[in-house]
Amino acid sequence: MMEAVFDRVPRSEVFMQTGIQFMRINTLYQVMSLLEQNSPQLEIADILLMAPDLLNYWLTGVKVSEFSNATTTQMYNPILETWAVEMLESIGLPTHILPEIVMPGTKLGSYEGIPVIAPACHDTGSAVAAVPTAIKNHAYISSGTWSLLGLEVEKPIITEAALVANVTNEGGVYGTYRLLKNITGMWLVQQCRQTWAEEGRVFSYGELVELAGMASPFMSFIDPNDTVFLPAGDHPKWVQAYCSNSGQSVPMTKGAILRTILESLALKYRQTLDTLQYLAGQHVEVIHIMGGGSQNELLNQMTADATGLPVYAGPIEATVLGNALVQLISLGEIDDLAQGRQVVAGSGEEKLYEPHQSEAWEHAYKRFRQLSVDQDYEN
């Protein structure tokens, strides 16, 4: 569906009007699929509501689209601060079904006397709201099946360099944007675990990390964002094939395969962070890792070592906390986001990982960059 869109509006123009990373899962291409199939849904539709907007409608009867979620559709123009109507009409998509956009923290109504407030309905938007930091120059990694690595910026970065780097500008809370890139994250480990379970050996995630920790370092690398790793399937075999095809040593044990994945993820974080700092002209002093993946202590330490930056891991349930903070601010229970982040920081959930082994990681990074499928920028 991406090519069907680009046949009507050039790829570069889609980015310049939306600032969003090109991914086949974007709403724009899902709606385009309906158009290509001559689906009657588009003809009879009264309004387009994303899943969280639908839930809010069921609770309040109010049909609106929350800002952070709307921006991720690749149908929103952050420069005009509204739907990209001109672009969508050029593609042939109906624009009369697009609802009013409201900001995070908007009071929508009530349900049985309980206020219903729109948080940042996009899960990463809420997670970033809960980053427990008091400094501006930080980066975040929302770590789970996907790793979303980004910076919090005041304005979207929509430039030719950003287009080439295929980064995204997603709406945040209180006038911010999330300049970030999606990286294939724990999906790789999850698929290895699933493959081995089907072969009769069930590992806990803790056991997988232990196996990786015992393996020899810097044997081989993969680019986690290579499209070969996107489908579900035999990822151990695919990692081995990738290493063989790229002229590297082939990891033969489970621990070696897992270490290849985790080291490659840490190096991908380094590469992506360099790119984002270059694009934003912003120097990063610390990294915060939130979400379920923040429990992977080996990867947390590797990330600190690969980037040369201190890494704070936690909170695990950042999305829930960020959602709650926005609602508490709207209810007047918390003054602002800065105070809310102080509350999260005071929870004691964070753990610090200091960087070391810089020379070995620098050598590894030079090797990794030769494999990357992404445009490379040095900060």
- Both tokens assigned to 21: 């990373």
Tokens of 60: 């309040």
Question: What single DSSP character describes residue 38?
Answer: T
Do the beta carbons of residue 64 and residue 12 sit within 8 Å?
no
Strand, coil or helix: what is 286?
strand
123 is an active site residue: yes
Among the listed residues 7, 46, 53, 123, the single catalytic one is 123
Contact in structure between 104 and 324 (CB atoms under 8 Å):
no
CA separation for the pair 143, 128 (Å, rounded): 11
**DSSP secondary structure code for residue 226 in this structure:** S
**Alpha-carbon 199 to chain mean position:** 31
First to last CA, the chain: 34
Q: What's phi and psi for 171, nearest 5 deg?
A: -65, 140
Q: How many CB atoms lie within 10 A of CB 111?
A: 13
How far apart, in Å, are the Cα atoms of 138 and each of 16, 132, 178, 342, 354? 26, 10, 12, 15, 15
**Pick from 314, 288, 68, 17: nearest CA to 178:** 68
Question: What are the φ/ψ torsions at residue 373 (nearest 5 degrees)?
Answer: -90, -5
Is residue 319 within 8 A of residue 375, CB to CB? The reply is: no
The span from the CA of 38 to the CA of 246, in Å, is 43
Residue 131: both structure tokens together: 């980053």
Encoding tokens for residue 248? Answer: 């590297």
38 and 23 in contact (C-beta within 8 Å)?
no
C-alpha distances in Å from residue 319, one per residue of 73, 124, 255, 338 = 19, 7, 31, 17
Q: What one-character DSSP code corresponds to residue 46?
A: S
* CA angle (299, 276, 145) in 5-degree steps: 40
The residues carrying an active-site annotation are: 123
